[in-house]
Structure 1
Amino acid sequence: MSHESSNDDTIHKSVAGSDDGSESDSDEELKELQQKRLKSSGGWIGYIKEFGIFWPCLWPAGNPRLLLYVGLLLMNILITRALHVLAPRQLGIIIDKLTTERRIPWVDMVLYALFRILASDSTGFEALNEIIAPRITAWSYQRLTIAAFDHVMRLSMDFHDDKDSGEIIKALEQANSLNSLLRIFVMEVVPGVLDIVISLWYVSYLLDGYAVLLIVGVAIAFIFVTAYITAFVKASRRDLSARERDESRLLYETISNWSVVSYFNRRGYEKVRLAGILKGVVDADLRSNDSYVALYGAQEFCERAGEFGILILAAYRISRGLAPIGTFIAVQNYWGTITMPLFVMGHSYRQLTSDLIDAERLLQLFTSKPTIQDVECAKPINVSAGTVEFDDVSFGYSKGKLALDHFNFQALPGQTVALVGETGSGKSTILKILMRFYDLNSGRILIDGQDIRLVTQDSLREVFGVVPQETVLFNTSVLENVRYARLDASDEDVFEACRAAAIHDKILTFSHGYHTKVGERGIKLSGGEMQRISIARVILKRPRIVLLDEATSAIDTITESKIQTALRNLTSNRTTFVIAHRLSTVVDAGLVLVIDQGRIVEKGTHQQLLEHGRRYKDLWTKQASLPP
Structure 2
Amino acid sequence: MKEGERSGRISAELWEVLRRHRWRIAAAVALLLVAKLATVAVPLLLKRIIDALSTASLPASLPLYLLVGYALLRFSSTLFNEWRDLLFVRVTLAAVSAYAQKTFSHLHALGPRFHARRKLGSLLPDIDRGTGGIAFLLGVGLFTIVPTLVEIGLVLAIMLNRYAAGFAGIILVTFLVYAGFTLVFTARRVFYQRRVNKLDSTAKGRLADSLINYDTVKYFGGEAREARRFAAIMGDWVDAGAANQRALFTLHVGQSAIIALGVAAIMVLAGQAVLARQMSVGDLVLINAYALQVCLPLNALGFTYREARDAWVNAERLFELLRERPEIDDPPGSPALQPGPGEIVFEHVSFHYEAARPVLVDVSLRIAPGTTLAVVGRSGSGKSTLARLLLRYYDPANGRILVDGQDIRLCSAASVRQAIGVVPQDTALFNDTIGSNIAYGRSGSTLEEVVAACRAAHLHEVIEALPGGYDAPVGERGVNLSGGEKQRIAIARAVLKDPPILIFDEATSALDVDSEHAITQELDRLSQHRTTLVIAHRLSTIVNADTIVVMDRGRIVEQGTHGELLRRKGAYARLWLLQQRMEEDAAR
TM-score (norm 2): 0.88
Residue correspondence of structure 1 range 550-561 to structure 2 within 5 A: 550-561=506-517
Q: Which amino acid aligns with 1:177?
A: G
Q: Tell whether 2:90 aligns with 1:132.
A: no
1:524 alignment partner, SS class: coil
Q: Which amino acid aligns with 2:472?
A: T
CA distance in 2, matches of 1:236, 1:399: 38
Q: Which amino acid aligns with 1:309?
A: A
Q: Is the 8 A contact 2:123 2:201 kept in 1?
A: no
Judged with a 3 Å threshold, the aligned counterparts in structure 2 of structure 1 residues 243 and 625 are, in CA distance, closer, same or farther, namely closer
Q: Tell whether 2:32 aligns with 1:80.
A: no
Identity %: 33
Determine the structure 1 residue equivalent to 2:555: 599
Q: Which amino acid aligns with 1:52?
A: A
Judged with a 3 Å threshold, the aligned counterparts in structure 2 of structure 1 residues 266 and 527 are, in CA distance, closer, same or farther, namely closer
Q: Tell whether 2:541 aligns with 1:581.
A: no
- The more displaced of 495-504 and 478-487 is 495-504
Residue correspondence of structure 1 range 410-489 to structure 2 within 5 A: 410-489=366-445
Note the alpha carbon deviations across 1:412-451, whole angstroms, 9 max, x for none.
1110000000011010110111122211222221111111
Q: Choose from 383, 395, 399 the match for 2:339.
A: 383
Q: Which amino acid aligns with 2:344?
A: V
Q: Tell whether 2:49 aligns with 1:91.
A: no
Q: Choose from 53, 61, 65 the match for 1:107.
A: 65
Q: Choose from 334, 342, 351 the match for 1:395.
A: 351
Q: Is the 8 A contact 1:387 1:575 kept in 2?
A: yes
Determine the structure 2 residue equivalent to 1:69: 24
- The more displaced of 222-231 and 183-192 is 222-231
CA distance in 1, matches of 2:212, 2:521: 39
Per-residue deviation, 1:144: 2.1
Determine the structure 2 residue equivalent to 1:218: 174
Judged with a 3 Å threshold, the aligned counterparts in structure 2 of structure 1 residues 556 and 251 are, in CA distance, closer, same or farther, namely closer
CA distance in 1, matches of 2:394, 2:404: 20
- The more displaced of 522-531 and 422-431 is 522-531
1:414 alignment partner, SS class: coil
Q: Tell whether 2:322 aligns with 1:362.
A: no
Q: Is the 8 A contact 1:54 1:144 kept in 2?
A: no
Q: Which amino acid aligns with 1:610?
A: L
Q: Which amino acid aligns with 2:462?
A: K
CA distance in 2, matches of 1:267, 1:318: 73
Note the alpha carbon deviations across 1:202-256, whole angstroms, 9 max, x for none.
2333421111232234345645776788799889989988997898788767777
CA distance in 2, matches of 1:599, 1:550: 19
Per-residue deviation, 1:290: 7.9
CA distance in 2, matches of 1:161, 1:282: 30
Q: Which amino acid aligns with 1:543?
A: P
Per-residue deviation, 1:367: 3.2
- The more displaced of 158-167 and 471-480 is 158-167
- The more displaced of 282-291 and 464-473 is 282-291
2:496 alignment partner, SS class: helix
Q: Which runs of 5+ in 1 are unaligned?
A: 1-32, 61-65
2:422 alignment partner, SS class: strand
Judged with a 3 Å threshold, the aligned counterparts in structure 2 of structure 1 residues 574 and 51 are, in CA distance, closer, same or farther, namely farther
Q: Choose from 507, 511, 528 the match for 1:572.
A: 528
Q: Is the 8 A contact 2:122 2:205 kept in 1?
A: no
2:430 alignment partner, SS class: coil
2:545 alignment partner, SS class: coil
Determine the structure 2 residue equivalent to 1:318: 274
Q: Which amino acid aligns with 1:132?
A: L
CA distance in 2, matches of 1:266, 1:168: 25
Cα-Cα RMSD: 3.4
Q: Is the 8 A contact 2:121 2:205 kept in 1?
A: no
Per-residue deviation, 1:557: 3.0
CA distance in 2, matches of 1:256, 1:157: 19
Q: Tell whether 2:441 aligns with 1:517.
A: no
Residue correspondence of structure 1 range 251-400 to structure 2 within 5 A: 296=252, 299-375=255-331, 378-400=334-356
Determine the structure 2 residue equivalent to 1:141: 96
1:380 alignment partner, SS class: coil
Q: Which amino acid aligns with 2:67?
A: M
Judged with a 3 Å threshold, the aligned counterparts in structure 2 of structure 1 residues 622 and 252 are, in CA distance, closer, same or farther, namely closer
2:54 alignment partner, SS class: helix
Q: Choose from 362, 380, 388 the match for 1:406.
A: 362
Q: Which amino acid aligns with 1:112?
A: Y
Determine the structure 1 residue equivalent to 2:105: 150
CA distance in 2, matches of 1:410, 1:275: 55
Q: Which amino acid aligns with 2:438?
A: V
Q: Which amino acid aligns with 2:142?
A: V
Q: Is the 8 A contact 2:433 2:473 kept in 1?
A: yes
- The more displaced of 130-139 and 327-336 is 327-336
Judged with a 3 Å threshold, the aligned counterparts in structure 2 of structure 1 residues 263 and 609 are, in CA distance, closer, same or farther, namely closer
- The more displaced of 549-558 and 287-296 is 287-296
CA distance in 1, matches of 2:72, 2:451: 69
Q: Choose from 37, 48, 51 the match for 2:8.
A: 48
Per-residue deviation, 1:141: 1.7
Per-residue deviation, 1:261: 6.8
CA distance in 2, matches of 1:391, 1:67: 54
Q: Is the 8 A contact 2:121 2:201 kept in 1?
A: no
Q: Which amino acid aligns with 1:546?
A: L
CA distance in 2, matches of 1:308, 1:146: 51
Per-residue deviation, 1:285: 7.7
1:394 alignment partner, SS class: strand
Per-residue deviation, 1:529: 2.2
Judged with a 3 Å threshold, the aligned counterparts in structure 2 of structure 1 residues 283 and 156 are, in CA distance, closer, same or farther, namely closer
Note the alpha carbon deviations across 1:232-289, whole angstroms, 9 max, x for none.
9889989988997898788767777766776777878988999999999889988977
Judged with a 3 Å threshold, the aligned counterparts in structure 2 of structure 1 residues 59 and 463 are, in CA distance, closer, same or farther, namely same
Per-residue deviation, 1:335: 2.7
Q: Which runs of 5+ in 2 are unaligned?
A: none
CA distance in 2, matches of 1:549, 1:308: 78
CA distance in 2, matches of 1:316, 1:398: 79
Judged with a 3 Å threshold, the aligned counterparts in structure 2 of structure 1 residues 552 and 235 are, in CA distance, closer, same or farther, namely closer
Q: Choose from 189, 211, 221 the match for 2:145.
A: 189
CA distance in 1, matches of 2:146, 2:509: 64
Q: Which amino acid aligns with 2:72?
A: L
- The more displaced of 555-564 and 426-435 is 555-564
Per-residue deviation, 1:583: 0.6
Note the alpha carbon deviations across 1:168-205, whole angstroms, 9 max, x for none.
44444313422322211111111122122222222333
CA distance in 2, matches of 1:180, 1:289: 21
Per-residue deviation, 1:388: 0.9
Judged with a 3 Å threshold, the aligned counterparts in structure 2 of structure 1 residues 49 and 236 are, in CA distance, closer, same or farther, namely closer
Q: Is the 8 A contact 1:392 1:443 kept in 2?
A: yes
Q: Is the 8 A contact 1:468 1:551 kept in 2?
A: yes
Q: Tell whether 2:73 aligns with 1:118.
A: no
Q: Which amino acid aligns with 1:87?
A: V
Q: Is the 8 A contact 2:337 2:416 kept in 1?
A: yes
Determine the structure 2 residue equivalent to 1:201: 157
Per-residue deviation, 1:127: 1.4
Q: Which amino acid aligns with 2:501?
A: I
Q: Is the 8 A contact 1:387 1:412 kept in 2?
A: yes
